[in-house]
Amino acid sequence: MGQEPSEVLAVRVGVADGRLVLISEDANLDVERASNGRFGSTPESMFDSWDEFVDWANGVDIDEEPAPLEKLENPVPCARQVFGVGANYRDHIEESGAEVPTAPLIFTKFPSCLVGPQDEIPLPSRKVDWEVELVVVIGRRAEHIDDGDAWRFIAGFTVGQDISERVLQFAGPFPQFSLSKSFPGFGPLGPMLVTVDEFEDANDLELGCALDTIVKQESRTSNLLFGVPELVSRLSATCILLPGDLIFTGTPAGVGAFRSPRQFLQPGQTLTSWVRGIGELRNPIVAGPKYVAKQF
Ligand code: ZN
């Protein structure tokens, strides 16, 4: 099954021990060392010249100097803009009782909330909810991009959790999305960035999450109301998208707030989140510094 030399192959990249690594089945390859310094040790150096990086990564023999797999960290710690999309799966809109939006509902997750695939999520209250999401990573500066051209501006995908504190979110007369989704630890990301070439159909990926052993959400990204190319197109019509920027594309049905009875995260639980073909987050839930065990 030889690949044409000009064909772009999938690249899987992450951060381990603070350094950018190429990832294969059983090894990490330190990017700075393997490239003799052509690329640096941080993801910024990869995003500075994404096309060159992908070309280089496809030509590297990953067996040349394998290093043991270290614990993977947040693969995109350099994100400057983090967009979130609310109400973007039909079944989630249904469970929430909201009307179907005619344009994407956009908020931000402030980047200080981003953490790695195995980091703890500290609870600020007893009303913290899960939202598994496919996360788009921008690879090139994008401004006024058409839907049909959008994939060229995408570096790849990773898995994310749009952790949400529901009291702050719905406390006032208007929803408070950005703040309620930006507490420390509220943006677990990883375990790696995978280029879109990896997927047979990049518009139809299976995703889900489980609390301990109980599956809470299961869906496919083909159920997105506004799909990935349209989100890039619509966002880039307003904001200049920068390499390393993230788009949390929305969550399917099965969050805790719309269950009967309602369910929320509790200290001691483990939240597992996945997108098939990318990998899995496993985040322990812990009590945050202001957490009150019995509020009611
Ligand atoms: Zn969300």
Q: What percent of the chain has pLDDT over 70?
A: 93
Kindly report the CA angle at 82 between 77 and 88, in degrees rounded to 5? 130
Domain ranges for the chain: 12-72, 76-287
Q: 162 alpha carbon to ligand 1 midpoint, in Å?
A: 5
Q: 266 alpha carbon to ligand 1 midpoint, in Å?
A: 19
Q: 63 alpha carbon to ligand 1 midpoint, in Å?
A: 38
Q: 147 alpha carbon to ligand 1 midpoint, in Å?
A: 22
Q: 205 alpha carbon to ligand 1 midpoint, in Å?
A: 17
Q: 75 alpha carbon to ligand 1 midpoint, in Å?
A: 19
pLDDT of 9 strictly over 70 = no
pLDDT at 32: 95
Global confidence as pTM? 0.94
pLDDT of 68 strictly over 90 = no
Q: 24 alpha carbon to ligand 1 midpoint, in Å?
A: 30
Confidence at 4, pLDDT banded by 50, 70, 90: very low
Instruction: Read off the DSSP letter of residue 152.
Output: G
Q: 133 alpha carbon to ligand 1 midpoint, in Å?
A: 7
Q: 120 alpha carbon to ligand 1 midpoint, in Å?
A: 19
Lookup: tokens for 4: 């044409």
Lookup: tokens for 5: 């030399």
- Paired with 186 in beta bridges are none
Alpha carbon distance 30, 19 (integer Å): 7
Alpha carbon distance 255, 145 (integer Å): 32
pLDDT at 10: 74
Q: Which whole number is the average pLDDT over 266-280?
A: 97
Q: Is 64 exposed, middle or buried (0-12, 13-18, 19+ CB in 10 A)?
A: exposed
- Sign for the CA dihedral angle at 248, 249, 252, 257 comes to positive
Q: 2 alpha carbon to ligand 1 midpoint, in Å?
A: 40
What is 76-287's CATH number, 3.90.850.10, 3.30.1300.10, 3.20.20.210, 3.40.50.10540? 3.90.850.10
pLDDT at 296: 47
Q: 199 alpha carbon to ligand 1 midpoint, in Å?
A: 23
Give the amino acid at 124: P
Confidence at 86, pLDDT banded by 50, 70, 90: very high
Cα 62 versus chain centre, distance: 25
Q: 296 alpha carbon to ligand 1 midpoint, in Å?
A: 26
Q: Which whole number is the average pLDDT over 287-295?
A: 83
Confidence at 26, pLDDT banded by 50, 70, 90: low
pLDDT at 3: 38
CB 218 within 8 A of CB 148: no
Q: What is the pLDDT of residues 101-118, one digit of tens each?
A: 999 999 999 999 999 999
Q: Which whole number is the average pLDDT over 128-157?
A: 97
CB 247 within 8 A of CB 202: no
3-state secondary structure of 288: coil
Q: 166 alpha carbon to ligand 1 midpoint, in Å?
A: 12
CB 129 within 8 A of CB 264: yes
Q: Which whole number is the average pLDDT over 186-206?
A: 95
Q: 108 alpha carbon to ligand 1 midpoint, in Å?
A: 10
Q: What is the pLDDT of residues 235-259, one digit of tens each?
A: 999 999 999 999 999 999 999 999 9
Q: Is 172 exposed, middle or buried (0-12, 13-18, 19+ CB in 10 A)?
A: exposed
CB 284 within 8 A of CB 121: yes
Any idea which residue has 């690879």 for tokens? 139
